Amino acid sequence: MTKPKVDPRPHSRVVFDGVKQTPSRAMLRATGFDDRDFRRSQVGIASTWSTLTPCNMHIDRLADAAVRGVDGAGGKGTIFGTITVSDGISMGTPGMRYSLVSREVIADSIETVVGAQGFDGLVAIGGCDKNMPGCMMAIARLDRPAVFVYGGTIRPGAGRRDIVSVFEAVGAHARGALSDRQLREVERTAIPGPGSCGGMYTANTMASAIEALGMSLPNSSAQEAVSRTKRLDAERAGRAVVQLVRRGIKPSDILCREAFENAIVVTIALAGSTNAVLHLLAIAHSAGIPLQLDDFTRIGARVPVLADLRPSGRYSMSELIRIGGIQPLMRTLLDAGLLHGGCLTVTGRTLAENLRRVKPYPAGQQIVRSLADPIKAESHLVVLYGNLAPEGAVAKISGKEGLQFEGRARVFDSEEETLQAILDGTVVAGDVVVVRYEGPRGGPGMREMLSPTAAIMGKGLGDRVALVTDGRFSGGSHGFVVGHVAPEAAVGGPLALVRDGDPISIDAVARTMTLDVADRELAKRRATWVPPARPAERGVLAKYAALVSSASLGAVTDRQLSSFHAKPAES
């Protein structure tokens, strides 16, 4: 049977061809188009470039490289911009409420431009936490041939410092372990140039997960931002997307359920960020794939943590890059039957075919353990349920902070109150710090609690204090921390009923989180509970709060289109 011929211009010919589209061509001639360009496959290059954060300050150069790749392969590349916000800069301030919101704005804006301009393909380049899943959500929604390019990791600062070193230095300064001069020295030397935060924090986690999904080229996740390999990665992505257009390979051919399972496996093996749970749920939603919290538990029961990477481990992403990146790890996981090798990728080949010639890590390296000697025998991402989290919560338990915690609640209604209490010594050993009204609706925006968790570590309380929140955590957070508590306090979730002194028990083995207060007492409290005033009356935060779903569903804003609540597949 003859394979049907693929139209290399399925969308752009509607915009460019024929007499009636003469005005469209006239507009584009002003930008440099000529007659030949109108006959080429049109590829949009979505750039998250800005100079407001190191993560994205170099992406303009990567976008230019992607255009060279597209044009060299016979397509026509056109760069357009979308926003980014910096988590590291806005962390601990009201501005952090816009961080998760930006994921939706980015997805919406890319979808809008690609849909309006009739691009046949897309290269999306992201370098910071939320613009990466935002790019992927747009790619999944549009379902046009696409490749994601990661902007790359930052190089370590002096003394192997990074941004988390700075946050933890604030806590150390508060307890008197660092002088003013030493704190300034950390501030001045931790961030040496372009690139995303240098541990297995959210950016590097999501880059690795997207590579495992098959939506970026091999090793795109494991390259330094300032490197020739990263520029070549962007150029190759441009060439690759033209081939995908010609072959008619779309994201829906790649983003199957097995691909998401591969992403979860790789995230666990790398000890990745809890944000991966939120973002993979959201990307799956955009792709129409039924993924649930319990899938992380099912998969996590058979996948060990192998990478000794920051924040809970010792090594940086740059050090992982020097021994081969994540490809040797993926080959190990594939050979062990933990990855689905038959999944198609943006190379046009399967995952197994991509990994066929990958060499193992060099002998003697200590960054990635063998399957026979894992850091943790099962996942560090632990989904907890109980009367404090009926819809679930997500904990990041490396094992170093212990597997159980019992303590008395110390309750705060905002991140700011919490941080002050940690720094001034109000929070003491044995406390379960409860930070509520910071969920997707209540924040609104589900702020990350890096400032409080880093202050706890800096104060030397990492294994003696737990923190529970309906907000979320930076990939740089570590310690005994539980986030994404659902339903959130602002909608009447049980977290709203907790009072100072209430006993709380957390068990990562039994996967439970329990408020040890009688049901009768909780009913009394609920009868007198008054919902908080809406924190945003208009603007993007108000729109977000009105639309956003529970964190247990990925905190998505197009939830009304969802038509599934599938049970997790049998193992």
Three-state secondary structure string covering 478-489: CCEEEEEEECCH
What pairing do the DSSP bridges indicate for beta strands 480-486 and 389-396? antiparallel
- In which element (H, E) is residue 148 found? strand 146-150
Q: DSSP string spanning 449-462?
A: -HHHHHHHHHTT-T
**Contact present, 243 and 146 (Cβ < 8 Å):** no
* Residue from 47, 474, 549, 552 carrying the catalytic annotation: 474
**Contact present, 152 and 177 (Cβ < 8 Å):** no
**Contact present, 45 and 110 (Cβ < 8 Å):** no
What pairing do the DSSP bridges indicate for beta strands 466-469 and 480-486? parallel
- Clarify whether 474 is annotated catalytic: yes
Task: Please tell me whether residue 506 adopts helix, strand or coil conformation.
Answer: strand
Which residues face 42 on adjacent strands? Answer: 76
- In which element (H, E) is residue 43 found? strand 42-47
**Contact present, 343 and 254 (Cβ < 8 Å):** yes
Residue at token pair 């009072």: 499
Residues 6+ apart with CB under 8 A from 79: 44, 45, 47, 63, 64, 67
Give 315's DSSP letter. Answer: B
Cα separation, 442 vs 470, whole angstroms: 9
Cα separation, 90 vs 88, whole angstroms: 6
Cα separation, 63 vs 147, whole angstroms: 12
Cβ neighbour number for residue 358 with a 10 Å cutoff? 17
Phi/psi for 60 (5° steps) reads -60, -40
Greatest CA span in the chain, whole angstroms? 76
Which residues face 45 on adjacent strands? Answer: 79, 123
As annotated, the active-site residues are 474
